Structures are given as structure tokens and as C-alpha cells.
Homo-oligomer: A and B are copies of this chain.
Amino acid sequence: MMSELFENHQAMLNSALVACGDRSYFSAFLEIPSGKIYGETAKADGEAWFKDRMNGAYALAGHPGAKGAAGKESSPFGPTLGVTYPKADVGTLISAAEAAAGAWGRAPIETRIGVCLEALVRINMQSFAMANAVMHTTGQAFAMAFQAGGPHAQDRGLEAVAYAYQEMTRTPASALWTKPQGKRDPLVMEKNFRVIPRGLSLVIGCATFPTWNTYPALFASLACGNPVIIKPHPDAILPLALTVEILRDVLTETGFDPNVVLLAVDEKGAEITQEIATHPAIKTIDFTGSNGFARWLKDNVDRDTALYTEEAGVNSIVIASSSQYRAMCDNIAFSISLYSGQMCTAPQNIYVPAGGIESDEGPKSFDAVAADIGQAVDRLLSDPDRAAAISGAIANPATVERVKQAVSLGTVVRASTPVEGAGDARTATPLVMTIDDDASEAHKGECFGPVCFVVKAADADSALKNASGLAREKGAITAAVYAQDEATLDRAVDAFAEAGVALSCNLTGQIFVNQSAAFSDYHVSGANPAGNACLTDAAFVAGRFRIAPSRRLKAA
């Protein structure tokens, strides 16, 4: 069965490899939450799955730890989940992973890849269940929870598997080395190269994108032969418990110890992250979260443990001019409204020249641009159903508080309000303010959540310089620019490239700066303080295994 799995999914893997190479469009997992794709009962089954899990102990067959011992999630949409999970102490988890490591690390590359691909396909089949799990832990609206938590995350996982496969197989398993010796017979050696895993891998999940941000590291480490301990954020365990359940099923069915994948559950105020992260058996750590905890990891984790981080930053849009003014305002309004600004790719600062801009609708003053963006948000969110579908809910109560406090930081153009008709959900629509780039500091750090600063810059060049400078200093994952002329676009490309930020130019319509597509867009550059690694490039994967060579004299 083991090589069967690889063969079954080889076409998908090959397509992924091609797309990783040419960065063209590819998606293995369909993003439309449709019964025609996922089965007519899939939606109802997903809801039922979620309801069945609520107020119960999540079963993970054979997982170490006491059943139902931890878990205090509650939905940003209201209900307490009441799901509990097995909880084991750190030593027990490490021992279980170590016991599982040998056979997994020694398995043929194709076998491991097959297990990873089969698990991704099965996770895909559970995308409706996953959507419910992601929605009710992160506050993402259903459609986004389905896409970002389901197929898009699965594509990111596949991308990591493809990179891992490519990296591991670029060295041949064996080679004949024939060195000429002048008139004498050549020296001939048979050489063998074995891929050996780096060691136990710890993946620390975040509260907003528990699967999307976890799958690249999870699948890259697994594919390279490393057992993975997943430490979910205490607020977003359920999506990763489902992931772990499916992976453990596939591992068990293929004859591996399911403890190759483990869930390390904790609760707020009693986190075990530091204890696991500093355990000497952990050889790789992937972290998504705050700069503060990333700093702690950098200061405390052994230097020989590989550490990949995705941290916070300040994403900016620079408006130099616009040939599609209204479409631009609509596009920006969507970008700052989507999941209420809780995406690591969401823009926070919109730099506009103090003297205003040229546009297809004639000149627009700085204040007019700010007002028009505010009005575009109003227009977008005017329909309560649409507003709910775009905004979702706020994951963390502190974010709501931050939005309330933020009104003092600038001049309010559009006030944040709850989403109309959202009931018990914790919601907040975007707060849009103007602020003076030179006179203020508030926008020069991350203000996480639905807070948008329209920043008055001296002129377009200052806007580019300061936005890209801020990215270099504080980090940024995305940037966008609007300009009618090529020269300004070229300057923007240069400025943001040197700051290591992924730039989008003149976006309008149904494509947004927030979006990062697997196989084509690199997520995080690793070249500014928003993270030291990229999801997913060769550097993200190549250090997760090593090569152990052996050689033997054949003729001399």
C-alpha cells in the first residue's frame, strides 16, 4: 500500500512541482464550497461533525496523555466550544515522538511523500468539517474559513511536500565516481547518499490561520522524515486536532507509529510552548505569531535548532495616482475589511501625498481619498449579510479594545462599528483615520485588527521611501502601490524589493493584496523583521534533512 499511495498521487505531485518551478497558476484542492465537488451532504456532514465534537473529549486513538484533559476554546461567534483534548506532559510527548522517529526517518522517501499526499487528500475531503472548526476558533466567516482553512491551506501543504520531494531527490541515491589516473586504470568508487532527518520538529500554530500557517512546516518536516509535534494556539486547537487525527489515521494504516504526529495542547496561562521549544530533542521550530515571542525563541532556543519565524509587520499601500479611482477605493476597502484586518497580509497604512493625487476622475485631495476609502468601506458593508461574510468576527477580545483605543491616534474618517445583525459575535468593522506621517508615530508599529491609517506623506516619493523604510525597520509581508506611470511603479518595485516585501501593483476587482496563492506567490520573504523564512522556498525545506554519504572502492 505504501508505494501505492505515492503512485496514486504522483500526477498531483508532478503538477505541483511544475507550478513551483514556473510559478504559474495551480491548485490541487478546489476552493468552492460546493456540494457538487465535495458531495451533496458535505455541508451538513461538516456541521454535524462540528456539533458532535462540541462539549466532548476529542478522540485521538493512541495519543499519549489523559483524555479530555485540556481545551478551553470559545467561538468568536459566541458559543463556548467545550471540546477537550488529550494532554500529555512535554517529556511524554518527546519520548513518544522519539520512539516513532526511527521507522519514519528510515522509510523510503516515496513512502513518506505518499503518506503526506494521502493525508492532504483526506484532509481535503473534510474541508467542510475543517471550515466549521476554523470558523469557530478564528472568527473567519464561513466562506473564508472554508477556503483559507481548507483548500488553500492544503495547497500550501502540497507545495511544501513538493519542495521537500524535489530537495530530497535532487541528490541521487547512488553514483559511480570514476577518476582518471593517466595511463593507469581509473579509480572507481561507488557512492551512496542517504537522506537523514534532522530530528524532532515543533510547529507552533497561531490563532488566526491555524492550518494555513501550520501546513507548510508540518508537511515539509514530515516529508523529510521528522516527527512533528504541533503546539496549537490555545484558542485554535480544533482545526489542528482534526489535521492530527487524519494524519495519525494514515500513519497507522500504512504501518507507522501514529506518534509521528502529536498534538501538544495547552491552555492560556499554562502554556507549555517554552518548555517544548527548549527541549534538547527538538531540532526544528516553526513559529507563527508575535515578534515578542519570536524574540524569546531567538534568545532561548539552542542555536543549532533551526528556527523559522513568521512575525508581525506593518503592511502599507502607497497611492501615487490612479487610473481607476473608484475601483481602487473598492479594492482597498475590501482588503482592510476582509476578516476585519486580522490577516498578516492586510494593509494597515495607506500613504497618500499631502497634495492629493491625479486620477481618472480628476484630482483628488488627500482628505478626499481618505473619505472615499471610508465610503467604499461603508458601501461594501452596507448589506448586513455581505458585511458578515466579509468581516467575520474578532478572534481576540484585546483586538476590539485596541480598536476602541485607537480613535485617539488620528482623525477619524470612518468609525468602527459592530457588524449589523451579528448577534453574539465579537465584531468590528474597519476604523479609518488620517494621520500625519511626520508628526505621528502611531502608524509606525503594528496596530493589529481593523485599524487603517491614511497617512499624509509629503509627496509620492516620500510615501514610497517611508512605507518601504518602515517595512525594512518593522517588517512587512505585503505592500501595494497605485500609480498611473511606469516610472513610479518601477521605483516602487525597487523600493519594496530592497525591503523584502511582496508588492502588488494597481490591484482592482476580485484580486487583493491580502491574497497569497500557493505555488506562485512566496509568502514572507525572510528579508525583513516580519519573519526570517519564506513559505515556501528551497531554503524553507533544504535544512530539514541532511545527507549521509557512504562510499566504497570498486576498482583502483
A residues neighboring B (CB under 8 Å): 21-25, 167, 170-172, 175-181, 187, 189, 191-194, 196, 198, 298-299, 302-304, 307, 489, 493, 496-498, 500-511, 517, 520-522, 525-527, 532, 534, 537-539, 542-543, 546-553, 556
Contacts and interface: CB of A to CB of B under 8 A. Distances in A.
A547 B537 contact: yes
A121 B152 CA distance: 48
> Of residues A191, A303, A517, which shows the largest number of chain B Cβ atoms within 10 Å of its Cβ?
A303
Contacts of A170: 21, 538
A521 B192 CA distance: 10
B23 A497 contact: no
A198 B170 CA distance: 24
A187 B299 CA distance: 44
Number of copies: 2
8 contacts: A22-B175, A24-B177, A25-B180, A177-B517, A189-B511, A194-B497, A511-B556, A526-B543
Contacts of A539: 539, 542-543
A527 to B, nearest CB: 4
Contacts of A493: 192, 194, 550
Contact of A504 (B21, B307, B550): B550
A550 B551 CA distance: 45
A196 B25 contact: no
Contacts of A178: 24-25
Contacts of A549: 502-503, 521-522, 525
> Of residues A176, A489, A549, which shows the largest number of chain B Cβ atoms within 10 Å of its Cβ?
A549
A448 to B, nearest CB: 22
Contacts of A179: 25, 517
A172 B526 contact: no
A156 B298 CA distance: 32
B511 A553 contact: yes
A180 B32 CA distance: 12
Contact of A551 (B21, B171, B503): B503
Contacts of A304: 298, 532
> Of residues A504, A538, A551, which shows the largest number of chain B Cβ atoms within 10 Å of its Cβ?
A551
A196 B500 contact: yes
B498 A196 contact: yes
A509 B196 CA distance: 30
Nearest to A301: B303
A520 B23 contact: no
A546 B534 contact: yes
A483 to B, nearest CB: 11
Contacts of A511: 187, 189, 553, 556
A194 B551 CA distance: 39
Nearest to A547: B522
A551 B504 contact: yes
Contacts of A525: 196, 546-549
Contacts of A303: 298-299, 303, 307
Given A170-B21, A500-B546, A546-B534, A520 B553 contact: no
B507 A553 contact: yes
B520 A550 contact: no
A175 B24 contact: yes
B548 A497 contact: yes
A541 to B, nearest CB: 9
A303 B532 CA distance: 10
A505 B191 CA distance: 10
A299 B299 CA distance: 9
A23 B547 CA distance: 13
A164 to B, nearest CB: 12
B553 A527 contact: no
A196 to B, nearest CB: 6
Contacts of A175: 22-24, 520
A137 B22 CA distance: 48
Contact of A23 (B172, B509, B542): B172
Contacts of A497: 194, 196, 548, 550
Contact of A503 (B22, B496, B510, B550): B550
Given A502-B549, A505-B553, A177 B25 contact: yes
A227 to B, nearest CB: 15
A179 B177 CA distance: 46
A107 to B, nearest CB: 14
Contacts of A507: 553
Nearest to A31: B179
B177 A520 contact: yes
Give the 6 A-B CB pairs with smallest separation, nearest first: A298-B303, A539-B542, A497-B548, A23-B175, A509-B556, A527-B546
